[in-house]
A and B are shown apart, each in its own frame.
Chain A
């Protein structure tokens, strides 16, 4: 079965600093990969996705992510963090399981931004 690991539960960065959120997955083939952001009490907003092709994908709000097959990773990056980026970030994997696509989420990383 597929699984998703986000090693960092909490990350704190200063506004303007760069950010990298880690995501590792376990699956026999290349899954669909997603990053979502969730503000408190809200639903999920898709930041970016990877299905195939160019391993560096650009998303909304200045985020990007790089798929590295050799490391089974899909880390999220942003060169300069804004205070409004403070939220919970979830990495998700979509993969075919018993004939149905399932989408499994990592445990999330809570980002705090210091002024």
Chain B
């Protein structure tokens, strides 16, 4: 099956700093990527949808200026958590699909801890 790789898998940062998480599709062209956030023992909450070359579409309640999403190529999307605070600590998961394929492929997730 198609492979989606996320990096880093774990990151610890100080409050006020920015953190970038990468999501790569290794063997297919990801025309659409999705970013999810998962709190402990909770479900995945869709944060935003990004189509390659376009601005991301954010879900209601998600701060665009805090969670910057870039999808500049068909194999890479990045999520930057700007000026991170402890409440941003969470498990972030990306997923990707290619045009014409209805299935989503998930990355392994990135655990962010903000001190």
Chain A 36-67 interface mask (CB, 8 Å, partner B; 1/0): 10000111101001010000000000000000
Cβ of B87 < 8 Å from any Cβ of A?
Answer: no
Residues B109 and A103 in contact, CB atoms below 8 Å apart: no
Residues A108 and B42 in contact, CB atoms below 8 Å apart: yes
- A43-B108 CB under 8 A given contacts A90-B43, A105-B43: yes
Main secondary structure of the interface of A (DSSP, over half): strand
A107: B residues at CB distance < 8 A: 42-43
Give the complex CA separation of A101 and B108 in angstroms: 22
CB of B33, distance to nearest CB on chain A (Å): 11
CB of A80, distance to nearest CB on chain B (Å): 26
Give how many A residues have a beta carbon under 8 Å from the other chain's beta carbons.
23
Residues A104 and B102 in contact, CB atoms below 8 Å apart: no
Residues B103 and A46 in contact, CB atoms below 8 Å apart: yes
User: Which among B36, B46, B102, B108 is the interface contact of A42 at CB below 8 angstroms?
Assistant: B108
Main secondary structure of the interface of B (DSSP, over half): strand
The size bracket of the interface on B is 20 to 34
Q: Closest residue to A6 on the B side, CB-wise? A: B43
CB of A46, distance to nearest CB on chain B (Å): 7
Residues B111 and A41 in contact, CB atoms below 8 Å apart: yes
Residues B44 and A100 in contact, CB atoms below 8 Å apart: no
Which B4-24 residues have a C-beta within 8 angstroms of A?
6
A101: B residues at CB distance < 8 A: 32, 97, 102
- A102-B46 CB under 8 A given contacts A42-B108, A43-B109: yes
CB of B77, distance to nearest CB on chain A (Å): 15
Chain B 12-56 interface mask (CB, 8 Å, partner A; 1/0): 000000000000000000001010100001111010010100000
Give the complex CA separation of A90 and B44 in angstroms: 9
CB of A86, distance to nearest CB on chain B (Å): 14
User: Which among A42, A46, A104 is the interface contact of B109 at CB below 8 angstroms?
Assistant: A42
CB of B73, distance to nearest CB on chain A (Å): 19
Chain B interface (Cβ within 8 Å of chain A)?
A: 6, 32, 34, 36, 41-44, 46, 49, 51, 57, 91, 93, 95, 97, 102-104, 106-109, 111
8 A-B pairs with CB atoms under 8 Å apart are A43-B6, A43-B93, A44-B106, A100-B57, A101-B102, A103-B104, A105-B44, A108-B43
